[in-house]
Structure 1
């Protein structure tokens, strides 16, 4: 029997787990106007970012592809693009990239409207009308094969690799086993695991891509740290990781890969791109939590699963972030921020498999409308587009 969830049908065939209106600035100059529009329309979210102009080459291309992909994410019933009017990444280009999704879509350009107040007024009216239409759409039943989850983590400690990450891996395997999709990332935290992950590739071409992706990241880190005068800043794990009981980047990497379970890898995705078929994927991205989540949402993930040993409150606009900790003390201190306590496994109250099943059931409930704690508290800090040197 195939598991199901209650989601929102989209005209392009995708399925959303949320039904919000996205207010997306094409450039940092229009970010405040986008924010003001979102504040005036309940049920909308905005995407503040510092890019969209004074970029060239591949750096600008990544920004463009990522913003377009965010607009195409199925969690959004409609999109209002907000531009300034003279930026390198045109608001009309952004809208054109989102148009194939067939969702509600309008563009507001500040210089065309006359000033920011006029743009806010027009954008708010458009977003309100979109929200009224979206509010009339009901949820429908879909198989879990329509779900894609992002596997991320932050503030790791010794319990992350021991408990929270393996339990999440169990849930990921169960989803992928029913033709759902899952994305592992944070390449800087997978250094040293390339051969282990490559052995799980569906073919040698994918195996070579996994090896190459991790090796290139390692070479980049070597260049970045070679001439650093501060040796503390060359470490690949933070002081908080050390304080939480992690001894080295090797230990962190071996624990980090556990989020992906044991399923075969179907391929490697470039940042700002989407997979061509269902399955487990490796996303080429840095280890920064926000850049990882942004890349996963751009790839099509409708939710993020986020183990955290030390604890973090962060969330993503319009995309639920399910927080899991393997540290019972962290859960007791941050229970208003963390959704699931995998620390019960260390206390002998649950098995790892039982915790994995609890995470899986939480995925289905959140996909069907249950709000996570980051959503309830309004946390949206994780939107952050990666930059290329």
Structure 2
């Protein structure tokens, strides 16, 4: 008998763990209008970003497909697209990309409406109508196989790789064993572990893709750091990681990969695209927390699991972020931001297996409606679309 959670079924067969209205600007010029619309309608969230115009080639393509995929995420019952009218990434292209999900969808174009005030008024009308319909939808039981989680971490210390990440790996294995999906990423923090990860691939093609993803990232970092005039700018881990007891990027990588548990990798995912398979996946993404979370949500993740030894308050708009720390001191000083104190393993109160089971149960609880601390405090900083050089 598989586990289940209480979620919101969508017409395309996916299941959301939240039932929100997303207000998405197609270009930075319409970001304030999108914000004003969302602020006037309870249960609406917006996605501020600095892109959508003055981009070319693959850089613009990544922006386009990421925004489309964000709108397709099952946590959103409806989407209001807000455009200016002359941007390179057309608001109509954004709306068309979301339309196949059959969710509620409307488009507001500022230049067509006449001015920003008129656009806010029209967009607010659309969002209110959607929210009235969404408010009548109730949660229904859904199998764990409908869940996809993003595995991310930030502000790591020595307890991250020893406790929080391995405990999360146990929870991830439990999810994947029942047909759910987990997405590992932060490729800059997997350097040196590619052969270990490749040995866990379901076949040699996936193993080769894992090696290639890490190799490309390593070469990019080499180019970016070789001409730096400031030696402090070439470090691949932050000062906070050093202060927390980590000695090198390889040590951090060996701890970071522990988030993925022991399951086999069933596939890899390009940034801003839907996975071709379920199970444990590797997302080709930079190491920046926001870019990682955004890529995972674009891939379909309904929540993010986020260990942090040093502590962080950040969250993602419309997608719950569960914070975990393996450091008891961090939990005591940041308990209003941290959801799970995995430091109880360090103090001997729980075993690593028990903590993994506790994290897994928290996943089910949050999927069924329990709010995370980041949600309660309104944190939404992790939305950040990657830019190509």
- TM (norm. structure 1) is 1.00
Q: Which residue of 2 aligns with 1:11?
A: 11
Deviation, 1:149, is 0.2
Q: Secondary structure, in 3 states, of the residue corresponding to 2:345?
A: helix
1:242 corresponding residue in structure 2:
242
* Number of residue pairs aligned between Structure 1 and Structure 2: 389
Structure 1 residues 1-389: aligned runs within 5 Å = 1-389=1-389
Distance in 1, matches of 2:193 and 2:274, equals 24
The question of whether the paired residues in 1 share the 8 Å contact of 2:309 and 2:326 is answered with yes
Q: Deviations over 1:28-85 (max 9, x none)?
A: 0000000000000010000000000000000000000000000000000000000000
C-alpha offsets along residues 239-278 of structure 1, whole Å, 9 cap, x if unaligned? 0000000011110000000000000001110000111221
- Provide the rounded CA distance (Å) in 2 between the counterparts of 1:81 and 1:220: 34
Once residues 274 and 354 of structure 2 are traced to their aligned partners in structure 1, the CA distance between those partners, rounded to angstroms, is: 32
Separation in 1, partners of 2:215, 2:261: 22
The structure 1 segments of at least 4 consecutive aligned residues displaced by more than 2 Å after TM superposition are none
Q: Which secondary structure does the structure 2 equivalent of 1:41 belong to?
A: coil
Asked if the contact 2:15/2:74 (under 8 Å) is kept, the reply is yes
CA distance in 2, matches of 1:101, 1:172: 27
CA deviation vs aligned residue, 1:285-327 (integer Å, no higher than 9, x gap): 0000000000000000000000000000000000000000000
Deviations 1:110-137, CA, capped at 9 Å, x for gaps: 0000000000011011101100000000
| Cα distance in 1, alignment partners of residues 229 and 277 from structure 2 | 45
In 1, Cα distance between the equivalents of 2:87 and 2:28? Answer: 9
Supply the distance in 2 between the matched residues of 1:20 and 1:197 (Cα, whole angstroms): 36
Q: Which structure 2 segments of 5+ residues have no match?
A: none
1:149-187 CA-partner distances (Å, limit 9, x unpaired): 000000000000000000000000000000100000000
Can you give the 5+ residue segments of structure 1 that lack an aligned partner in the other structure?
none
Asked if the contact 2:267–2:276 (Cα under 8 Å) also holds between the matched residues in 1, the reply is no
Aligned mates of 1:278, 1:189 — CA distance in 2: 23
Task: Give SS of 2:281's match.
Answer: strand
Scaled by the length of structure 2, what TM-score is found?
Answer: 1.00
SS at match of 1:183: strand
